[in-house]
A and B are shown apart, each in its own frame.
Chain A
Amino acid sequence: MATSDDDRIAYLTGEDPASLPADERAALDELRGLLADRSTWEEPRPELEDAVVAAIASEVEQPHAEARRRVRGQRRGRASRGIRRPRPRLAMGALAAATVVAVALLISQTGGGTSKRPLQFAMVVSGTPLAPGAHGSATLTKTASGWRVELAASGLPHLEGGLFYQAWLKNAAGVLVPIGTFNDARHVTLWSGVPVTKFPTLTVTRQRADGNPASSGLRVLLGTIRAAH
């Protein structure tokens, strides 16, 4: 029994005792996975403590707080899920997202004159509620190799350590086409093999290098060409 415990501890420390059965190895691998997970080590910013104290103090000070608590208590008996109130910060974010002006300008098109310029669009990109301070622009240019998408956005942190950004183009049916990954959004060149005229929405998601190629759904930037044709 003692030997087995020693083997388990040795396995956790990084050794590979041959006597450890496969099922115990698998169970310990799960524990090792948890010990390697970011959620085990990440800490909130110190400011969160004051924010929590202030949020509760604000509720305490509301004139009818006690009455509302009683009502909630009664409702809790009827429904397993709590009452959901609009969250001010997210509500602001939703408003911002809803009012995103995704301006698209047909900057230039194959001209009728003597000089031929490439088909090119410009797009304003705005931060979603996940990144309300982010904003920027993108230029989308048709080339012989495909569409070059030059994105310049500020207000997004540099990502590394297994985290990265991924850009997507999306059509009206909701089909997503990945157009590249990057760490820093300040100046990025992406390439698309589908026409931006058919896939006019640009999104950027925050991704984790976990072997899953699908979108995380954590969109941080958004913009759309409206006038594309």
Chain B
Amino acid sequence: MLARGVVRRFRDGDPAAVRTVYRSYGGLVFGVAYRVLGNRALAEEAAQQAFVKAWRAAGTFDEERELGPWLATIARRVAIDVLRSESRRGGDPIDSADDDDPALTTQPPSAEAVYEVWEVRSAVAALPEDEREVVRLQHFEGLTHAAIAERLGVPAGTVKSRSHRAHKRLAGALGHLQ
């Protein structure tokens, strides 16, 4: 949760407040955009646009609400616009494909799916660094506990206990997704 007054200063375009909002939510906004677009460069562009759109619309935002879900909604919408815009682009007469061209067919994830990404990123970000790394290596890189221990240079028992603690925290934070 941001300190009181940050949203108001963000709305005013105060660069320090913009940085504060970005540092709190930049990764999450980027993650949502990445989930929709599957492309780093486009996700960064969509994230930038999302923050600009959020600034433009900040006058309508109720400071008592949590900023995150509102930004997630904007990020998803902007990312889908970018996706559609990119999909429609052609380069020459032969390539002026219809929207139902199989080369252009993409289905953006649902709002629910995107919000799950947001929640999982939030929960992962809240883990202590050493536990987060174990979770990343296990799930994203697909390593076993033994391989993680070797990678990190720690005993296998340490990896196992970190993994257990981390997943206990995640299960608690994301119980509603299970």
Stretch at the interface among B32-40, B62-70, B149-157: B32-40
Question: What is the total number of residues of chain B having a CB less than 8 Å from a CB of chain A?
Answer: 75
The verdict on A31 contacting B177 (CB below 8 Å), with A39-B34, A76-B60, A172-B94 known, is: yes
Cβ of B106 and Cβ of A49 under 8 Å apart?
Answer: no
Asked if B105 is at the interface (CB within 8 A of a chain A CB), the reply is yes
Contact with A along B87-106 (1 / 0, CB 8 A): 10111101101100111111
Chain B residue numbers with a CB within 8 Å of A22 are none
Cβ of A52 and Cβ of B22 under 8 Å apart?
Answer: yes
Chain A residue numbers with a CB within 8 Å of B103 are 168, 170, 174, 176, 203, 205, 215, 217, 219
Residue of A8, A100, A214, A218 with most partner-chain B CB within 10 A: A218
Cβ of B140 and Cβ of A222 under 8 Å apart?
Answer: no
Cα distance, A55 to B103, chains bound together (Å): 32
Contact with A along B143-162 (1 / 0, CB 8 A): 01100000000000000100
Q: Kindly identify, within residues 35 to 68 of chain B, every residue whose CB is under 8 Å from any CB belonging to chain A.
A: 35, 38-45, 47-49, 51-53, 55-57, 59-60
Q: Kindly identify, within residues 15 to 35 of chain A, every residue whose CB is under 8 Å from any CB belonging to chain B.
A: 24, 27-28, 30-32, 34-35
- Minimum Cβ distance to chain A for residue B174 (Å): 6
Cα distance, A89 to B41, chains bound together (Å): 11
The verdict on A55 contacting B94 (CB below 8 Å), with A35-B140, A130-B42 known, is: no
- Minimum Cβ distance to chain B for residue A55 (Å): 5
- Minimum Cβ distance to chain A for residue B26 (Å): 6
Chain B residue numbers with a CB within 8 Å of A201 are 92, 94-95
The verdict on A89 contacting B45 (CB below 8 Å), with A56-B55, A59-B55, A203-B95 known, is: yes
Report the nearest A residue to B12, measured CB to CB: A60
Cα distance, A222 to B124, chains bound together (Å): 39
Stretch at the interface among A80-88, A106-114, A140-148, A188-196: A80-88
Interface SS of B by simple majority: helix
Asked if A1 is at the interface (CB within 8 A of a chain B CB), the reply is no
Category for how many chain A residues contact B: 35 or more
- Minimum Cβ distance to chain B for residue A154 (Å): 17
Asked if B85 is at the interface (CB within 8 A of a chain A CB), the reply is yes
Cα distance, A217 to B87, chains bound together (Å): 6
Cβ of B86 and Cβ of A130 under 8 Å apart?
Answer: yes
- Minimum Cβ distance to chain B for residue A104 (Å): 11
The contact sample of 27 A-B pairs, CB cut-off 8 A, is: A13-B163, A27-B177, A28-B178, A36-B139, A40-B124, A40-B140, A42-B40, A42-B43, A51-B48, A53-B19, A76-B60, A82-B53, A82-B56, A82-B57, A87-B45, A97-B91, A102-B92, A128-B91, A170-B94, A170-B103, A174-B97, A215-B104, A216-B106, A217-B86, A218-B38, A219-B89, A222-B95
